[in-house]
Amino acid sequence: MSEVTNPLLIGKGLPPFADIKPEHVIPAITQLLEETGNQLNELEANLQPTWSGLVEPLERLTERIGWAWGAIEHLLSVKNSADLREAHKIVQPKVIEFFNRFSQSQPVYKAYKAIYGSSEWDSLEPAQKRIVEAAIRDAELSGVGLEGADKEKFNAIQMELAELSTNFSNHVLDATKAFSMTLTLPEEIAGLPPSLLALAAQAARLDGDDKATPENGPWCITLDYPSYVPFMQHSRRRDLREKLYRAFVSRAASGEFDNSPLIDRILELRQQKANLLGYSTYAELSLARKMAPNVEAVEKLLEELRQSSYNAAVSEFAELKEFAKSQGETIELKHWDTSYWAERQRELKFNFTVEELRPYFPLPQVLEGLFALVKRLFGVKVIAAEGQAPIWHESVRFFEIQNEHNQAIAYFYLDPYSRPAEKRGGAWMNDCIGRARVIEEGKPITRLPVAYLICNQSPPVDGKPSLMTFGEVETLFHEFGHGLQHMLTKVDYAGASGINNVEWDAVELPSQFMENWCYDRATLFGMAKHYETGETLPESYYQKLVDSKNYMSGSGMLRQLHFSLVDIELHHRYQVGGAETPLQLRSRLAENTMVLPPLPEDNFLCSFGHIFAGGYAAGYYSYKWAEVLSADAFAAFEEAGLENEQAIAATGRRYRDTVLALGGSQHPMEVFKTFRGREPITAPLLRHSGLAKV
């Protein structure tokens, strides 16, 4: 009977989120680990080195624990609570221990190797071969070849790294939450747009001041992006901008949430792990499962892009200083002034504000435009399917994707709004269920994929819909691009369907590709309609948006290259306890990658969750690597002619059948070449960024 009472034991279908409570976590995971461990022992004793005797039973074996753990991790990121955090913390080491044991199974590894050399090999499909090859490589990278003390040390490292990464992430969340700046006087809010005042009053109400209003305050400003960014762009109070900026760049860098010691320990353990596996640095280990062939290739690309963007960034800053001076600014520009003056210059140059566009981008309208685009490009329909799926918050929506024959082929959840108290910042796509051929009740069926799409835009406030900045529109398109690769896959093997088994530095291709369409005339005018009057965005704005797209693009590109180069350097050349601290290393690289050197207390590494708590360690360059691919892919549509509906549909179909359909069943370079007819080049990215050398 225990099956029914604990929702985490269901093991298939959509998780019943509302029923899952923190107290279910420990008993369910404990039970599942025990059952799965026993099944693994049994399987190891009777292994057949064939697809049906090894790969299929292994997938079934990890399915239920993967399902339960996926639901828990998802809730941890969208409905975080002290109890859930505590339960997760208790079972996480046991889960890692199990997956370590699983990935280090000698019998399983030897059976995979046997398939590789067997008579069956030639009859396997490309997707199956890639799954077997990836399993062999992943086993080797998981320490399957280690024995005795080395193996124990490796497993202890894995365990400690997982715990450090969770702690790092929680520290950033807690440090972000711990700081707030309450404003009570009219002069303190000079320059702030109404959307921010509404958000700040709402934050004050959540903080216990139930009388707070957008008009009269008090207003609570936080380090959460939807609050921090607009404040830095619009506040006329230089002293308050400075206070907020200093708090932001020193987040999680001192006191009880200090991540500095964690960084050193993480880097030290990663280096040890790489050495145990026979790599000289962690960067080399990281690249072993990526599209980029080696560190040199990564640094060569980053340097090529740096040379195209550094001088542009220097002259952009010089121009900004001149502009500020012309507006009567007498003090030399500091770090907390650049966003503010860049925003003023943008408004003057392009004669519009980011804020005045918001009313033209209510979420429902933007979704309509996005869905019209995917129909135009890929021939699929998206329809609302509310009420057909369990949700974790009342603002979450559910949708179905249908093919040209009106058959359901996939589903997705959309959780669009910021909830700083329980939901981590940023935006992401995750898989809830992956596409696969499975046996249910004795019959083979195709299990349809389900995606989670998570954003953090301003929630509807005071009866208005969620009015999005153009940047938030781009973010939604970006995450939907990830979702499309997960949902439009044609691969029937779980190990390579959707985003599974896609090299990390190719995974941003479909997402960054979608962002280009926000500047496509048909797409933009299809969705940009005023939420009150229904009036379409005036034509003059379209030109301004296109012109402003590359505003300060040298600085934007340089910022990403700074992160990428610091990340590679930390994981390839940094020596723990050597001559340099991570902070000094960053300052050294800043000389060629930042126009304004960082402040002494700027310790952005302490909140750099991407590389210390996410999957981007020695992989942050992936954004730029994939952007080269995505710009080149979009160029195929430009070459076909964006006004030519037939050509766009034909190119869209080819893109759907390659990039979106093939998932991890082929190497990304092969997938790209099949779509584009050649290897990628950097020219389209530099052209799209306005950085091409004319």
Among the candidates 590, 620, 650, a domain finishes at 620
Q: At CA 353, angle to CA 348 and CA 357, rounded to 5?
A: 145
* Same domain membership, residue 570 and residue 496: no
Q: Is residue 26 part of a domain?
A: yes
Overall average pLDDT of the 273-284 stretch: 97
Q: What single letter denotes the amino acid at residue 581?
A: T
* Same domain membership, residue 306 and residue 274: yes
Tell me, what's the pLDDT at 693? 60
Model pLDDT for residues 629-670, shown as the tens digit of each residue: 999 999 999 999 999 999 999 999 999 999 999 999 999 999
Q: pLDDT over 70 for what percent of the chain? A: 99
The domain of 184 spans: 179-251
| 447 beta partners | 436
* Same domain membership, residue 346 and residue 205: no
Overall average pLDDT of the 508-534 stretch: 95
* Same domain membership, residue 447 and residue 366: yes
More confident residue, 454 or 615: 454
- Whether 50 has a pLDDT exceeding 90, the answer reads yes
Model pLDDT for residues 288-336, shown as the tens digit of each residue: 999 999 999 999 999 999 999 999 999 999 999 999 999 999 999 999 9
Q: Is residue 159 part of a domain?
A: no
Residue 503, domain CATH: 1.10.1370.40
Tell me, what's the pLDDT at 3? 44
* Same domain membership, residue 367 and residue 336: no
Residue 605, domain CATH: 1.10.1370.10
Q: Is residue 642 part of a domain?
A: no
Full DSSP string of 311-336: HHHHHHHHHHHHHHHHTT--SPP-HH
Q: Which two tokens stand for residue 691?
A: 């950085």
The 3-class SS string of 155-189 reads HHHHHHHHHHHHHHHHHHHHHHHHCEEEECCHHHH
Q: Is residue 95 part of a domain?
A: yes
pTM: 0.85
**Overall number of domains in the chain:** 4
Overall average pLDDT of the 354-369 stretch: 93
Q: Pairing mode, if any, of strands 219-222 and 180-183?
A: antiparallel
Overall average pLDDT of the 158-186 stretch: 94
- Whether 1 has a pLDDT exceeding 60, the answer reads no
Overall average pLDDT of the 401-425 stretch: 94
Full DSSP string of 479-501: HHHHHHHHHS----SGGGSTTTT
* Same domain membership, residue 545 and residue 557: no
Full DSSP string of 564-620: HHHHHHHHHT--TTSS--HHHHHHHHHHHH-SSPPPTT--GGGG-HHHHTSS-TTTT
Among the candidates 251, 270, 299, a domain finishes at 251
* Same domain membership, residue 114 and residue 22: yes
Q: What single letter denotes the amino acid at residue 253?
A: A
- The residue behind tokens 């002619």 is 641
- The residue behind tokens 């790599």 is 279
Model pLDDT for residues 241-251, shown as the tens digit of each residue: 999 999 999 99
Helix, strand, coil shares of the chain, percent, nearest 5, are 60, 10, 30
* Same domain membership, residue 276 and residue 420: no
Among the candidates 511, 526, 549, a domain finishes at 549
Choice among 10-14, 349-353, 574-578, 642-646 with the minimum mean pLDDT: 349-353
Which residues lie closer than 8 Å to 651 by C-beta, 6 or more apart? 636, 637, 640
Q: pLDDT over 90 for what percent of the chain? A: 89
Overall average pLDDT of the 373-379 stretch: 97
* Same domain membership, residue 283 and residue 188: no
- The residue behind tokens 């025990």 is 34
Q: Give the residue numbers marked as catalytic.
A: 479
Model pLDDT for residues 608-637, shown as the tens digit of each residue: 999 999 889 999 999 999 999 999 999 999
Residue 80's pLDDT band (cuts 50, 70, 90): very high
State which H helix or E strand residue 57 sits in. helix 56-78
Model pLDDT for residues 3-31, shown as the tens digit of each residue: 458 999 999 999 999 999 999 999 999 99
Q: Is residue 505 part of a domain?
A: yes
Q: Is residue 327 part of a domain?
A: yes
Residues 632, 684 contacting (CB under 8 angstroms): yes
Q: Which two tokens stand for residue 420?
A: 């700083």
The Cα 78–Cα 355 span in angstroms is 27
Tell me, what's the pLDDT at 4? 58
Q: At CA 300, angle to CA 298 and CA 306, rounded to 5?
A: 105
Q: How many residues does the chain have?
A: 694
* Same domain membership, residue 493 and residue 383: yes
Q: Is residue 685 part of a domain?
A: no
Q: Which two tokens stand for residue 610?
A: 């991407």
State which H helix or E strand residue 372 sits in. helix 363-378
Q: Which two tokens stand for residue 18?
A: 């509302």
Choice among 265-269, 277-281, 424-428 with the minimum mean pLDDT: 424-428
Q: What single letter denotes the amino acid at residue 22?
A: P
* Same domain membership, residue 12 and residue 89: yes
Q: Is residue 673 part of a domain?
A: no
Q: What are phi and psi of 302, to 5 degrees?
A: -60, -40
Tell me, what's the pLDDT at 614? 83
Residues 377, 656 contacting (CB under 8 angstroms): yes
Residues 498, 434 contacting (CB under 8 angstroms): yes
Residue 53, domain CATH: 1.20.1050.40
- Mean pLDDT (the chain) is 94
Model pLDDT for residues 187-206, shown as the tens digit of each residue: 999 999 999 999 999 999 99
* Same domain membership, residue 189 and residue 138: no
